Amino acid sequence: MRSWNFTAGPCTLPLEVMEKAQREFLDYEGMGAGVIEISHRSPQFDAVAKGSEKRLRSLMDIPDNYKVIFLQSGGRGEFAAVPLNLMPEGGLADYFVTGHWSRCAYKECDERFGRAVLHECAPKDASGIVSIDYSKMQVTPGASYAYICFNETVNGIEFNKIPDTGDVPLVADMSSDILTQKVDVSKFGAIIFGVQKNVAPAGLVIAIVREDLIGHARKYCPSILDWKVMSEHDSLFNTPCVFSWYMADLVFRWIESIGGVAELERRNAEKSKLLYDFIDSSDFYRNNIAKDSRSRVNVVFNLKDEALNAEFLKEAAARHFIGLKGHKVLGGMRASLYNAMSIEGVKALIEFLRDFERAHA
């Protein structure tokens, strides 16, 4: 049987997508070869590339003055690509840090490429509750851009509104909550996301960049990180990760088939509410994120008695729940409720949590 996969990344994928990929793995479009074996310049893959961009543009309602670029840099590669493309020598940028990944992006910029202004925007109150403080998100005069991680996978924190940065372009890492809710792309200068949370197997990053921000890369920016070079070559400057790109297209098709991003947003709200409501009703589990800052897709929680952590994970595995161990930076537990996680999976998890509490309280 398949496990209930709550892993934070790579993600669980829709079963029908996995089954279709399995059927086509050895013979794609009657070619007698798999999609991972065919040329990225073949008509068959050209249809995948163009079709996937068209579907993503439709799903997210991406304005015409934005480029959609398919890259292999990984999320950390884009931590470097952002300042290399947007910050001139001697420039500066604002980093609104709310957790682990925005802090990693800040360090990448500040230690290697220029002045990154650190804004600590997720303080703890006296009782240890963490919340996003939007009042701290003030841009610095002369900033080339302001950077946020819209959903902090490690910390279980998510923005519930888009900060107003005026004329300073807002750059958002949406790796873990892309396509989980409707967003107004026009409010951002750029959106970057690794596909391994909600879209496809790891290996692909997608950048959605406003056209006027393209073409300003530093001279020494590697060509595969230069958004202008990659967009001019339709993301085919080098051989792309064809399998991940193909899987992304299948997932975009699946999202279309179930009613689009609006339906996923409805489902994700329902799933997270069920789990948070249970945790809040229990004295055995706790979550220390303020309700208005909680992630809908990465639910972090701790056991009251953390000496039971190992037993909790052992019993979870025995009942076919995987991926519940929290990130090493934060510890505790984490249940990732990405788009492909069903409401049935969340209900099954709650049943396990209830049973474990009864047995060990």
> Do 253 and 264 have their domain in common?
no
> Do 80 and 209 have their domain in common?
yes
> Do 94 and 231 have their domain in common?
yes
Q: Is the pLDDT of residue 39 over 90?
A: no
Reduce the DSSP state of residue 20 to 3 states and report it. helix
- List the CATH number of the domain containing 245: 3.40.640.10
Strand (E) positions, 7-127? 66-71, 92-97, 115-120
| Average pLDDT, integer, range 226-231 | 96
Q: Is the pLDDT of residue 234 over 90?
A: yes
> Do 252 and 153 have their domain in common?
yes
Q: How many domains does the chain have?
A: 2
> Which tens digits make up the pLDDT trace of 87-108?
999 999 999 999 999 999 999 9
> Which tens digits make up the pLDDT trace of 125-180?
998 999 999 999 999 999 999 999 999 999 999 999 999 999 999 999 999 999 99
Examine residue 286 and state whether it is found in any structural domain, yes or no.
Answer: yes
> Do 65 and 199 have their domain in common?
yes
Give the pLDDT confidence score for residue 355 in this predicted structure.
97
> Do 128 and 249 have their domain in common?
yes
| Average pLDDT, integer, range 18-43 | 91
DSSP 8-state secondary structure symbol assigned to residue 124: B
> Which tens digits make up the pLDDT trace of 52-99?
999 999 999 999 999 999 999 888 889 999 999 999 999 999 999 999
Contact between 144 and 171 (Cβ < 8 Å): no
> Do 129 and 235 have their domain in common?
yes
Provide φ and ψ at 191, rounded to 5°: -125, 130
Q: Is the pLDDT of residue 11 over 90?
A: no
Q: Is the pLDDT of residue 258 over 90?
A: yes
Provide φ and ψ at 333, rounded to 5°: -125, 160
Domain that holds residue 309: 260-360
Contact between 118 and 254 (Cβ < 8 Å): no
Q: Is the pLDDT of residue 185 over 90?
A: yes
> Do 100 and 66 have their domain in common?
yes
> Do 309 and 240 have their domain in common?
no
Residues annotated as part of the active site? 101, 173, 197
Examine residue 4 and state whether it is found in any structural domain, yes or no.
Answer: no
> Do 231 and 95 have their domain in common?
yes
Residue written as token pair 């892309």: 178
Calculate the average pLDDT of the chain. Answer: 95
pLDDT class of 353 with cuts at 50, 70, 90: very high
Reduce the DSSP state of residue 146 to 3 states and report it. strand
> Do 217 and 308 have their domain in common?
no
Give the pLDDT confidence score for residue 74 in this predicted structure.
83
Give the pLDDT confidence score for residue 75 in this predicted structure.
85
Provide φ and ψ at 171, rounded to 5°: -110, 130
Examine residue 9 and state whether it is found in any structural domain, yes or no.
Answer: no
Which of 215, 237, 257 corresponds to the end of one domain? 257
Which of 242, 257, 272 corresponds to the end of one domain? 257
Nearby residues of 177 by Cβ (< 8 Å), 6 or more positions away? 150, 151, 158, 197, 198, 295, 296, 297
Examine residue 12 and state whether it is found in any structural domain, yes or no.
Answer: no
Contact between 7 and 322 (Cβ < 8 Å): yes
Which of 257, 284, 309 corresponds to the end of one domain? 257
Nearby residues of 30 by Cβ (< 8 Å), 6 or more positions away? none
> Do 52 and 105 have their domain in common?
yes
